[in-house]
Amino acid sequence: MKEFWKYWKLRPEEDRHVWRFAPPAEKDFPTGSDRDWETPRGKRFLEAMSRDFLFDKSANSNSADRLYRHQALELPHPPPATATVPEESGDPLANQAFLSTHRGIDFYRRLQRDDGHWPGDYGGPHFLLPGLVIASHITGAPFPPPHQTLMKRYMYNHQNDDGGWGLHLEGASVLFTTVLQYVALRLLGEDPGNAELTRAREWILSQGGATGIPPWGKFYLSVLGVYAWEGNHSLMPEMWLLPRFLPVHPWRYWCHCRMVYLPMSYCFGHRVTASETEVTRALRQELYPCDYATIDWRAARDRVARTDLFHPPSPLLKTLNVFLDGYESIHLRPLRKRALKFILEYIDAEDRQTEYIDIGPVNQVINSICIWHAHGKDSPQFRKHVERWADYLWVAEDGMKMNGYNGSQLWDTGFATQAIVENGMERHFPEVVRKAYRFIERQQLREEVADRERFFRHISKGAWPFSTRPHGWPISDCTALGLHATLLVHRSGVLEAAGSNPIGRDRLQDAVDVILSLQNPDGGWASYENTRGPAWLELLNPAAIFRDIMIDYSYTECSASCIQALLHYRESDPRYRRGEIDRAIENGLRFVRAKQRQDGGWFGSWGVCFTYGTWFAVEALAAAAKQAGGTAALRADPHLQRACRFLLDRQNGDGGWGEAFQSCLRKEYVPHAKSQIVNTAWALLSLMAAACPDTAAVRKGIRFLMTRQEENGDWPQEGISGVFNHTCAITYTAYRNVFPIWALGRYFSSYRQDRNH
């Protein structure tokens, strides 16, 4: 543990991740005012701290969340539970798998907070932190120098050899994030003549300069005043006043898309532009190969660098842009005023409904700019916004990053609970499970948001969010996960043993109601809402850098999770809405089966990639088959057989599976150079769920997971596991613990049971 790592502490606040800079009082370090940091002593301190966060990404660009983990491991913990194999099975591998699971949980429990959840790094995308730095610059709300130091360190750590930055940790350089890091580093006071920025600038200029940045980048630069608003296509604020029945009304968009374009159109409508400063004047010179005054902004509207064109504009979008831009030049003032008024009301409502966390890292930041513009720097609303910036920041050994959400608390805790309870491990770790249960229970959404219908929100009561209750956006598969984990804990008897009450049936029924309400006519489930718009809306996706953002599609993973939860629920309460649940399950299964590809795998949209999608689908199909006809039905299911074939064909010689992020981009299985723990665990979970007869393959995989386990019970951090919108990867640091624990546990419990029968 490096000296300066110790000065950063994750505050033990329930449900909130806030990193505090807390050097020890006795230490000779500058305190108090920012001016202290300007002294030679202050500067030396920051430089030394920055050195402690140097991170070599050449072997692996993913950090291992070492700060949080060190910190948690240092806390006093009850002594390790003793592990004795419950019933010797005669299968040495099963006994070893038990001990390995036990060791895995014994380590992982030490990372659990008192409130029951597991915090973790949720970084990965490289376009988030610069947005926040730009917002803090524009609104005159700077971060303290120690924070700035670690932000800069993070950005430098992840610069690619060619001088640019990827869209995410493992990505090749793109103009979008390269220009944004460059700008952010300059706003944080970095010298344009230093080696790193010189290389970055050369890379930018070699791509033709910042005019080729994709639309979201054009937006940020415009607000900062280093790119003309005229160089953007219209974001027509009046769109929000269109009649709701029109297919292009934004209420039909995927909520993340809707909630990002909302504050963007506010800024566009008001042409919000930061006041000019020395650094913004300099940026106007540095970012372009020609004189800023001579740039043809109209032509720049359509320019997107080749490196960044993941989703080229369709002819329909180009035509629409002609109309929107045409309208912009003649727009009616009273209408514009009305539209901007509604937009501001909507932004205010989103802020209130989420306690200023907002749905995600992009709209949180852009809303901050709008709120500063509309209500002023001293307004309570703006102050609340700034306070929430902290919830998105995370410190790891590679510096300070911005997370993709205010955490993945419910998601990680739900999976951890399932991984432990499914295989009876709660008998060895009852307290861990009880604490997790209480956390999950507290995150269930208990009421509807205010002004729900006016602001196009789906029902929330009974649902679970991805992170925490204050965030409050309900999600289909998080609801399924919350419900499933809750039911598993109820069934385990661990609550009764401690005289602790389970949550009431009404709350479980509320969750079922939400799940049923979210099913789409195609039988599948989307993420936050029903699919509200036609698929052709994707032709209007203007982002260039992201795919499938326009509507909320039915996804294999979300659908499979909802099916599993309903199957499980039906067993526990066979009467409640029985006919509807039966039908929902049937239609859901049909949807999942139809998504299976020729080769037997399923594409995963939110993880890397086919091993992820396949795991969800197989769990749902297997649970259904098992309920209907036991293990014989499982083995007879042709979809499951094909799924097993798909996985077996991709097993590596060392027994593991490894899938690269490129699978998500190319939509075909791209092997990783090395077997990956997380992919291996998903593949093994699938094979075991499907009762794959090739037990030799499973055993080989199990051995692989065990040999990769570290002495203390942890597993190493390997490649990135999460993804969104096909192009951007995101870190799930919990996966390296939860999924191997789960797979090993399943091996010793289910395989041994099978053989005993």
Nearer to ligand LAN, 105 or 259 (CB): 259
Nearer to ligand LAN, 7 or 606 (CB): 606
Both tokens assigned to 165: 């930055």
Nearer to ligand LAN, 98 or 394 (CB): 394
CB of 34 to ligand LAN, least distance (A): 31
Residue 181 φ/ψ, nearest 5 degrees: -65, -40
CB of 436 to ligand LAN, least distance (A): 18
CB of 296 to ligand LAN, least distance (A): 29
Nearest to 607 by CA among 439, 356, 415, 445: 415
Nearer to ligand LAN, 170 or 714 (CB): 170
Nearer to ligand LAN, 169 or 362 (CB): 362
CB of 509 to ligand LAN, least distance (A): 22
- Distances in whole angstroms, Cα of residue 716 to Cα of each of 678, 733, 740: 10, 10, 11
Contacts 24+ apart (CB under 8 A), 519-524: 519/562, 519/584, 519/587, 519/588, 520/554, 522/554, 522/591, 523/554, 523/559, 523/587, 523/588, 523/589, 523/590, 523/591, 524/554, 524/555, 524/556, 524/558, 524/559, 524/588, 524/591, 524/592, 524/595
Is the CB of residue 419 less than 8 Å from the CB of residue 738? yes
Q: Which residues contact 389 (CB under 8 A, 6 or more apart)?
A: 132, 136, 364, 365, 368
Question: Sign of the CA dihedral 630, 635, 640, 646?
Answer: positive
**Which amino acid, one-letter code, is at 310?**
F
Residue 80 φ/ψ, nearest 5 degrees: -55, 140
**Across-strand partners of 724?**
728
How many CB atoms neighbour CB 303 within 10 A? Answer: 17
Q: What secondary structure does DSSP assign to 394-418, as a single string?
A: EEETTEEEE-SSS--HHHHHHHHHH
Q: What secondary structure does DSSP assign to 169-200, as a single string?
A: TTPPEEHHHHHHHHHHHHHTT--TTSHHHHHH
39: helix, coil or strand?
coil
**Across-strand partners of 555?**
525
Q: Which of 65, 106, 477, 513 is catalytic?
A: 477
CB of 609 to ligand LAN, least distance (A): 13
Burial 716-746 (b: 16+ CB within 10 A, else e): ebbbbbbbbbbbbbbbbbbbbbbbbbbbbbb
CB of 723 to ligand LAN, least distance (A): 7
Nearer to ligand LAN, 360 or 719 (CB): 360
CB of 754 to ligand LAN, least distance (A): 31
Nearer to ligand LAN, 155 or 359 (CB): 359
CB of 151 to ligand LAN, least distance (A): 18
Nearest to 436 by CA among 671, 109, 730: 109
456: helix, coil or strand?
coil
Residue numbers at the binding site for ligand LAN (CB under 6 A)? 256, 260, 360-362, 404-405, 466, 475, 477-478, 527, 546, 549, 557-558, 606, 724-725, 730
Both tokens assigned to 422: 């499914």
CB of 360 to ligand LAN, least distance (A): 5
Nearer to ligand LAN, 150 or 545 (CB): 545
90: helix, coil or strand?
coil
Is the CB of residue 17 less than 8 Å from the CB of residue 391? yes
CB of 601 to ligand LAN, least distance (A): 18
Known catalytic residue: 649? Answer: no
Nearer to ligand LAN, 262 or 702 (CB): 262
Nearer to ligand LAN, 91 or 522 (CB): 522
Rounded Cα–Cα distance for residues 607 and 231 (Å): 35
Q: Which residues contact 357 (CB under 8 A, 6 or more apart)?
A: 364, 388, 391, 406, 467, 468, 470, 471
DSSP 715: -
Nearer to ligand LAN, 475 or 625 (CB): 475
Query: CA geometry: angle at 23 spanning 19 and 26, to 5°?
Result: 155
CB of 451 to ligand LAN, least distance (A): 22
Rounded Cα–Cα distance for residues 19 and 406 (Å): 12
Question: Sign of the CA dihedral 248, 252, 258, 262?
Answer: positive
Task: List the catalytic residues.
Answer: 477
